[in-house]
Chain A
């Protein structure tokens, strides 16, 4: 485990080094409120390391074992954290970004604002921050924080999250687990500005989304939450690849980890190979130019 100061926040970082000579670096960005780097540490992280890609995982500010400042939870804060983190870790080559849920929103925002540092973006059950997205988030968070007394907010959260996110609702053990996560999320919302900041953060215009230059893969559960966003993004970015995991909901990353890992790795390795081949042919062309 490492502690890394980035953008004024003490971040918890875990690096799973590639087996053999690394083919590249992947940076994993987890979701908001109840998530942490653990979702990737026990799923895609080891799969990527095994396949020869350095896996860098970190807890977003306020989450997991990272510092929890009282304010500063807009999308632009999270994107600035990621940029500062890559600097602090001295990662100079473009990275493969893999984001789950809100982490996917951060990864896409990062690719728009720092195109030179993004080799590919893989997004699990998510899409870019748009006006509609901000409106939906604001409504859901308002319901959780303002309209219900705290003890009911927790019940609401457990019921909603269980129903929308997981294929395992009704499984007593799983519900107990979600209830524990809900308690933590309730404390997070009560002690910071995150519930106000996320809907108030910057959004991307169609024009900005069209500026994304790197290859993008979207992985969704067939019963997930973002089908509309995915269709819209795929139309704006014609090269976007979309994969759907049958029978899965929003929690597809942890509930179908092997399948999601195989899809993401296939995409990242194919694109890394293409980039390497392009670089080699450019080098050869330059070399040819020099010797002529």
Chain B
């Protein structure tokens, strides 16, 4: 996937769109290890560790893709650093989607107020 930095303010994506975008990033990070097409799709309930078998270093790559795609306001490293280890082990795609959508809304509100 090619990251294209937005040059104008795009509409804030809703959670369904964020899920679609993040799913595509996950598939690309997993590469050969990605679940085959038509297999159980990535859902809001998919866990990064147990279901997607992602290693922590895969999450680092995902973090870079998120920042490239959404901009620096989506700081996955900082978000994970704020969680307890149990929460990280149990982390679902849904929690990441909520975090991204929330960050984008906050950034848009801040931009509108400036």
Residues of A within 8 A of B (CB): 1, 14, 16, 36-39, 41-43, 45-47, 50, 59, 64-65, 173-174, 176-177, 180-181, 184, 254-255, 257
Contacts and interface: CB of A to CB of B under 8 A. Distances in A.
Interface stretch (B7-15, B36-44, B58-66): B58-66
B80 interface: yes
B81 interface: yes
Nearest to B77: A46
Contact of B89 (A50, A177, A181, A184): A177
Contact of A177 (B49, B60, B61, B78): B49
A37 B90 contact: no
Given A47-B81, A173-B90, A254-B85, A180 B57 contact: no
Contacts of A176: 49-50
Interface in B95-110: none
B55 interface: yes
Contacts of B17: none
12 contacts: A1-B64, A36-B57, A36-B60, A38-B59, A41-B56, A41-B77, A42-B59, A45-B81, A64-B57, A176-B50, A177-B49, A180-B55
A39 B56 contact: yes
Q: Interface SS of chain B: helix, strand, loop or mixed?
A: helix
A38 B89 contact: no
A47 B81 CA distance: 8
Q: Interface SS of chain A: helix, strand, loop or mixed?
A: helix
Given A14-B60, A41-B60, A255-B85, A180 B53 contact: yes
Contacts of A65: 57, 60-61
Contacts of B88: 42
A43 B57 CA distance: 13
B78 A50 contact: yes
Find the residue from A38, A59, A64 having the highest chain B CB count within 10 A.
Answer: A38
Given A37-B60, A38-B57, A255-B85, 7 more contacts: A36-B55, A37-B57, A46-B78, A46-B81, A64-B57, A65-B60, A180-B55
Find the residue from A37, A38, A42 having the highest chain B CB count within 10 A.
Answer: A42
Contacts of B57: 36-38, 59, 64-65
Find the residue from B53, B80, B90 having the highest chain A CB count within 10 A.
Answer: B80
A38 B81 contact: no
A36 B56 contact: yes
Nearest to B59: A38
A257 B81 contact: yes
A38 B49 contact: no
Nearest to A55: B77
Contacts of A174: 89
Please provide the 5 A-B residue pairs with the shortest distance between their CB atoms, ordered closest to farther.
A38-B56, A46-B81, A42-B80, A36-B57, A46-B78
